[in-house]
Amino acid sequence: MTNTDARTEFALCPDQAHPDAVQILQPRLVPLGGPRAMTVRRTLPHRERSFVGAWCFVDHYGPDEVSSTGGMDVPPHPHTGLQTVSWLFDGEIEHRDSTGVHATVAPGEVNLMTAGQGIAHSEVSTATTTTLRGVQLWVVLPAADRHVTAGFERYAVPLAEVAPGVRARVFVGELAGQVSPIHTFTPLTGAEIHLDAGTRWTVEVSPEHEHALLIDSGSATLCGAALAEGELGIVDAGRRELSLVAREDTRALLLGGTPFEEEVVMWWNFIAATHQEIELVREQWQEHAARFGEVPGYSGKSSRLPAPPMPGVRLRPRGSRGDSPGR
């Protein structure tokens, strides 16, 4: 998915934790382009925080009625320095990229694309899709791996009963005895969690990971702090277990990972080390450089997305806590 910005009740920790231990990020609404384009709720990156682990981008969308909005039609666009993780609850998306991959993203199947040194791809909801609902996630690559060869992985994730009243699909990393074979360059966790009404679940996690909870549907508390649908609640590393309590049938997304300590420049669809690198990759995309290739088979509303103009200020690197001006 492209970045169009050029610039509830759960308990997710031991019951004795306090609400002020939870950082809650409010989503902002971002259109994906065009007068009939769907709108997503974006919680990362945020002015107050850039990463949870190496997760650096969280778009939550739907339920989107395709007949009235036109669904998703994102023309070929570039990425560098990151991995994209596509995860759907409802509907299907057709993926095409410049490495020649043509795949259908479906509920319960994770699609991970490694951009590395450069890739281009398109995303279009299929003709049979009536309702589209899901998340688009990005993972920042560490400097040592930022220029790896582009690639694509796909995994159909089983829905496992991990405790009474709790079912989970672990699409990245491991949780509650479930393990995903998907490759990431830093330790990460990503799971869709279903809890029946009245369920209380305490699950062991690595104390080296920080964690975030996004509620897709239902209601819950997060360490005593109320989360509305679409908000992202975050707890820092140091916890050995997470306690989830659902007051009604609830579906949520749990993300985690070791804190990402590097600073990067994030602008449009690019992640790089410096302002100069961003200028370079933008120019290369505009000039159809070979590093991005071409996306065969796309027949949507335009042949490719042009990069927005560079901002009038110098882009500065930002760390996990955000706050960097110039984005």
Give one DSSP letter per residue of 224-252, joined into a string. Answer: TEE--TT-EEEE-S--SEEEEEBSS-EEE
Q: Which is more confidently placed, 71 or 168?
A: 168
Q: What angle do CA 107, 158, 195 make, to 5 degrees?
A: 80
The domain made up of 19-257 has a fold known as Jelly Rolls (2.60.120)
Look at residue 11 in the predicted model and tell me its pLDDT: 32
pLDDT tens-digit series, residues 31-84: 865 445 678 999 999 999 999 999 999 999 999 999 888 889 999 999 999 999
d(CA 97, CA 76): 8
**Residue 96 · residue 297 · CB < 8 Å:** yes
Q: Which of 25-29, 113-117, 257-261 has the lowest mean pLDDT?
A: 25-29
Mean pLDDT calculated for residue range 253-282: 97
The answer to whether the pTM exceeds 0.85 is yes
Amino acid at 237: A
Residue whose structure tokens are 């950082």: 23
Residue whose structure tokens are 């080390």: 273
**Residue 18 · residue 223 · CB < 8 Å:** yes
Look at residue 221 in the predicted model and tell me its pLDDT: 73
DSSP string, 22-81: -EEEPPEEEE-SSTT--EEEEEESBTTBS-BTTEEEEEEEEEEEHHHH---EEEEEEEBS
Most confident of 45-49, 141-145, 301-305: 141-145
Q: Which is more confidently placed, 140 or 4?
A: 140
Q: Which is more confidently placed, 175 or 16?
A: 175
**Residue 227 · residue 213 · CB < 8 Å:** yes
pLDDT tens-digit series, residues 203-247: 899 999 999 999 999 887 767 677 778 889 899 999 898 888 888
